[in-house]
Structure formats: structure tokens, C-alpha cells
Amino acid sequence: MINEHLVEILLAAILVSNTYDKDQAAIKWGGIVIAVAGVATALLG
């Protein structure tokens, strides 16, 4: 149950970070990488 909510939150974070244009690309892409890694960990772990 917790993993399902975690995956939904992280996928929403990926969507927001992809659609929101930030001035600092490192923060945007760093957030995407962290969220993708979190989704993979939640699904596989």
C-alpha cells in the first residue's frame, strides 16, 4: 500500500519536473533522476 502511494507521488514529481521550465537544469534533471530511481526501487524492492 505504501509503495503504491510512493510510486504515484514520484511519478507525479517526474511529470511536474518535465513540464515545469526551470532556469537551473541541474536541479530539474537531478530531481528527475532521483524520482526515477525511487520509482524503480519501490517497484523492484
pLDDT at 18: 73
In the prediction, which pLDDT does 28 show? 73
Query: Position of cell 515545469?
Result: 20
Cβ-based neighbours of 20, under 8 Å, separated by 6 or more: 28
Digit-by-digit pLDDT tens for the chain (45 residues) are 667 788 888 888 877 777 776 677 777 787 778 888 888 887 787
What would the grid cell of residue 32 be? 528527475
CA dist 30 and 17 (Å) reads: 10
